[in-house]
Amino acid sequence: MKTLILGGGVGGIVAANALKNTMGSSMKVTLVDREPNHYFTPSFPRLMIGETKPSKITKQLNILEKRKIEVLHREIENIDLIEHLVTTNREQLEYDYLIISLGVEYHPETVPGFSEFVFNAYDFYDVVKLSQRLKNFTSGQIVFFISSLPYKCPPAPYEMMFLLDQFFRQRGLRHKIKLTIVTPDYSPEPIAPPKVGQSVRKMLDDKDIELITEAKVIKVERNILMLDHDTKVPSDLLLGIASHWTPEVIRNTDLVDKSGYIEVDQLTLETRYPGVYAIGDATAIRLPVLGAYAPKAGSFAHAQAVVVAKNIRLLSRGLKPKFRYDGKGLCIMNTGFGRARYSTVHYYKKPQPYVTLLHPSKLSYYAKLAFEKYWFKRWF
Ligand SMILES: Cc1cc2nc3c(=O)[nH]c(=O)nc-3n(C[C@H](O)[C@H](O)[C@H](O)COP(=O)(O)OP(=O)(O)OC[C@H]3O[C@@H](n4cnc5c(N)ncnc54)[C@H](O)[C@@H]3O)c2cc1C
């Protein structure tokens, strides 16, 4: 039996390992990704301020071969769900089970001027360039903006601002730097109870970071961010999160709903095609209470991958799949100066999603550092 996993990011890596660990040679597992490397995104904020190096947060995907996972470095061009065939730039691949974990792709062109004037804070190569630029930045306004919703890891932009605050304070330059964050959301952490968003606002305030909410970015000029209603935000350095879309190869299938993301069963992650699953950022998961879509983060992709792998194991043995995804995850937001806030999320909880956000602590900070080590040791 063969399981084909599309995407070697968080969801794909966990699914491949989980399948191999439980099924051994009874399941051939093939992982396909266009990138030769995996980048550990939770450490991008620390990479930005030079607290870690690119080589420390990068692993070659083909290391997974030692775990008997076949790794193909390919561009996926077409998914034929009727014939069970995936076409890459080199060959056609058949499957018995298919797991799609292709994440999102960035579309900076939806904001004119983005590609010319903005560092994409979610792109590994741009973060490396940004870390060099910051070394020579001594005064002026830095603006971080979110192009559109949804975007993955909603706390990440705030984390990056807190680390910029730390970076410039440590250099004695903070009084010469204005930090501004611009978001289309009405609040940080919008699905959480209001007190969670309020506590992030307070931290921004305490650190003298300006927050502009409910802002629609129209375009970028060299030193200006243009918002709706002709509002102009001046800037000497622009960081942004480009609009997220599902990859074209997904949008060319009938898997997507009108949001552009893949419709899945909330509990099993199965698509409308039996034996075809989608996990991670590419999925459209409705929150039972708010009707809104669930947030996107690696911890959710991770938990979904484990559920799917366990159910494929049962199915391949002729048994009923019994494992269910529970909508739980966690996040640790680095708040600077060796502290972090630990957050738990349970987005299927009724009568409303449950989100906790602990106060900044050293323990949470060390837990975040330890997770990076765990991640590479556990899965590579
Ligand atoms: C700066 C930053 C910080 C973050 N911090 C956290 C955090 O602290 N905690 C947390 O839980 N989450 C965090 N996240 C979010 C997390 O990285 C994502 O939610 C997670 O990676 C989603 O996993 P995925 O498998 O769905 O997609 P991805 O990990 O994005 O993997 C998708 C893979 O598909 C490949 N691919 C796409 N299209 C094709 C194609 N046509 N052909 C071949 N390959 C293709 C891509 O190359 C990619 O490797 C952060 C994200 C960023 C950017």
In this structure, what CATH number is given to the domain that contains residue 17? 3.50.50.60
Residues 316 and 255 in one domain: yes
Find the 10 Cα to ligand 1 centroid distance in Å: 6
Residues 219 and 253 in one domain: no
Structural domain count of the chain: 2
Residues 192 and 253 in one domain: no
Inside any domain, residue 97 = yes
Residues 250 and 229 in one domain: no
Residues 58 and 128 in one domain: no
Ligand 1 atom with the shortest distance to the CA of 156: 3
- Who lines ligand 1 at CB under 6 A? 7-12, 33-35, 41-42, 44, 75-76, 101-103, 122, 152-153, 156, 247, 249, 280-282, 296-299, 301, 331
Protein residue closest via CA to atom 37 of ligand 1: 102
Residues 69 and 29 sit within 8 Å (Cβ to Cβ) = yes
Tokens of 349: 């909880």
Residues 193 and 351 sit within 8 Å (Cβ to Cβ) = no
> Can you give the residue range of the structural domain that contains 147?
116-243
Inside any domain, residue 70 = yes
- Which mutation among 4, 13, 30, 34 tests ligand 1's pocket best, with the greatest number of atoms within 8 A of CB? 34
Nearest to 4, CA basis, from 90, 91, 70, 77: 70
Which domain-ending residue is among 292, 307, 328?
A: 328
* Residue ranges of E strands in 34-176: 37-39, 58-60, 70-73, 76-80, 85-88, 92-94, 97-100, 105-107, 118-120, 140-146
Which domain-ending residue is among 243, 269, 297?
A: 243
Residues 213 and 321 in one domain: no
Inside any domain, residue 301 = yes
Residues 37 and 26 in one domain: yes
Looking at residue 104, its pLDDT comes to 98
Inside any domain, residue 369 = no
Residue 247 per-residue DSSP state:
-
Looking at residue 288, its pLDDT comes to 78
Report mean pLDDT in 10-residue bins for the chain, 380 residues. Answer: 98 98 96 98 98 97 97 98 98 98 98 98 98 98 97 97 98 98 94 92 98 96 93 97 98 96 97 98 88 91 98 97 96 97 93 92 98 96
Protein residue closest via CA to atom 6 of ligand 1: 42
Inside any domain, residue 320 = yes
Protein residue closest via CA to atom 49 of ligand 1: 9
Inside any domain, residue 356 = no
Residues 91 and 126 in one domain: no
Residues 94 and 194 in one domain: no
**Helix, strand or coil for residue 250?**
helix
Tokens of 184: 């289309």
Protein residue closest via CA to atom 22 of ligand 1: 298
Residues 311 and 220 in one domain: no
Find the 177 Cα to ligand 1 centroid distance in Å: 31
Protein residue closest via CA to atom 7 of ligand 1: 42
Residues 158 and 99 in one domain: no
Residues 127 and 229 in one domain: yes
Inside any domain, residue 367 = no
Find the 140 Cα to ligand 1 centroid distance in Å: 32
Looking at residue 205, its pLDDT comes to 98
Residues 86 and 93 sit within 8 Å (Cβ to Cβ) = yes
Residue 270 per-residue DSSP state:
B
Ligand 1 atom with the shortest distance to the CA of 305: 25
Looking at residue 191, its pLDDT comes to 85
Looking at residue 337, its pLDDT comes to 98
Q: What DSSP line would sit under 198-244, residue for residue?
A: HHHHHHHHHTTEEEE-S--EEEEETTEEEEGGGEEEE-SEEEEEPEE
**Helix, strand or coil for residue 14?**
helix
Question: What angle, rounded to 10 degrees, do the helices at 298-316 and 10-23 form?
Answer: 30
Which domain-ending residue is among 313, 328, 343?
A: 328
Inside any domain, residue 360 = no
